[in-house]
């Protein structure tokens, strides 16, 4: 659990950011689903429920999602499914249980850059952007590669571009953390393959993605690309799986995902 010395509920994003950055041990409180699993002493907890950031809406060329939107809302959103198929729903539907998904938020998950995150790997395939108070709008991939600095994530944008995308994961049990997760997308002739829970943060398989972007998605080329992914990416060992097992299974998941978008 965590200890909070003081809690505030600011009415504006600007006020929230000002309080957050006033002291080093001030911290945002969103769903706090992951935060309460650790042990931390927080000076001022900045609770965001009064900022109106719990929404999913159509903004013309983009679908805009507020940072306080829960996983359950993502899972049940018809708007997201109509525009992007089932990839977002598939990435969150097996995370622990409905009660947990009713609490955990998209903003907290993205900002924390969890290596095991199912949602992050799915969003990467959709080429989404994040909006921060200090750093402005950034591509999700760029944000994940940045060094940590105190900021406030407020919105997520996903471009509506008729992309075909698929998500796959490997788990010991249906509601367990992923041992490995994969997303692929195909837009026009561009193919992108992302692998997460390696156990490091999700990353793009550059060589395999370029290979398929320049060649047809035949059975033979899909097999070759899946092998390339297992060779070019770095996998690690933790309490859930060995690096050898992750490398081996990446070929299986990548192949299955690619079959769905060709």
- Quote the percentage of the chain above a pLDDT of 90: 60
Check whether residue 127 and residue 195 sit in a common domain: no
CATH number at residue 114: 3.30.465.10
Summarize pLDDT for 108-125 with one digit per residue, the tens. Answer: 889 888 888 889 999 999
The structural domain count of the chain equals 3
pLDDT band at 171 (very low <50, low <70, confident <90, very high): confident
Same domain, 36 and 118: no
Residue 184 reports pLDDT greater than 80: yes
Per-residue confidence (pLDDT) for residue 176, from 0 to 100: 72
Give one DSSP letter per residue of the chain, joined into a string: -EEEEEEE--SSHHHHHHHHTTSTT-EEESS-TTGGGS-EEEEEEEE-TTS----EEE-SSEEEEETT-BHHHHHH-HHHHHHHTTHHHHHHTTSS-HHHHTT-BHHHHHHHT-TT-HHHHHHHHTT-EEEETTTEEEEHHHHHHSPP----EEEEEEE-S--EEEEEEEESSTTSPEEEEEEEEEETTEEEEEEE-SSSPPEE-HHHHHHHHTS---HHHHHHHHHHHHHHS-----SS--HHHHHHHHHHHHHHHHHHH-
pLDDT at 11 > cutoff 80? yes
pLDDT of residue 33: 60
Domain that holds residue 194: 164-261
| 150 and 107 belong to one structural domain | yes
The pLDDT mean for the chain works out to 89
Q: Name the pLDDT band for 78 (thresholds 50, 70, 90).
A: very high
Output the pTM of the full model: 0.89
Domain end position, chosen among 136, 159, 182: 159
The whole-number average pLDDT for the span 229-256 is 92
What pLDDT is attached to residue 257?
A: 96
Mean pLDDT, residues 45-66: 92
Same-domain status, 122 and 184: no
């Amino acid at each position: 659990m965590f200890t909070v010395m003081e809690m505030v509920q600011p009415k504006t994003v600007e006020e929230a950011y000002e309080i957050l950055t006033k002291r080093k041990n001030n911290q945002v409180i969103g769903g706090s689903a992951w935060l309460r699993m650790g042990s931390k002493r927080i000076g001022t907890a900045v609770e965001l429920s009064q900022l109106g950031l719990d929404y999913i809406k159509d903004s013309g060329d983009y679908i805009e999602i507020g940072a306080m939107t829960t996983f359950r809302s993502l899972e049940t959103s018809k708007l997201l499914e109509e525009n992007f198929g089932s990839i977002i729903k598939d990435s969150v539907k097996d995370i622990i249980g409905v009660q947990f998904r009713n609490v955990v938020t998209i903003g907290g998950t993205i900002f924390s850059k969890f290596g095991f995150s199912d949602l992050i790997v799915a969003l990467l395939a959709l080429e989404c952007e994040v909006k921060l108070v200090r750093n402005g709008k950034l591509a999700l991939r760029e944000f994940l590669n940045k060094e940590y600095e105190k900021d406030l994530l407020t919105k997520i944008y996903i471009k509506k571009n008729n992309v075909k995308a698929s998500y796959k994961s490997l788990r010991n049990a249906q509601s367990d953390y992923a041992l490995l997760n994969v997303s692929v997308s195909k837009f026009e002739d561009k193919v992108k393959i992302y692998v997460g829970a390696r156990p490091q943060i999700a990353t793009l398989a550059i060589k395999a993605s370029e290979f398929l972007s320049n060649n047809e998605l035949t059975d033979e080329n899909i097999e070759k690309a899946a092998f390339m992914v297992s060779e070019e990416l770095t996998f690690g060992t933790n309490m859930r799986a060995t690096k050898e097992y992750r490398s081996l299974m990446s070929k299986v998941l990548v192949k299955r995902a690619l079959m769905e978008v060709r």
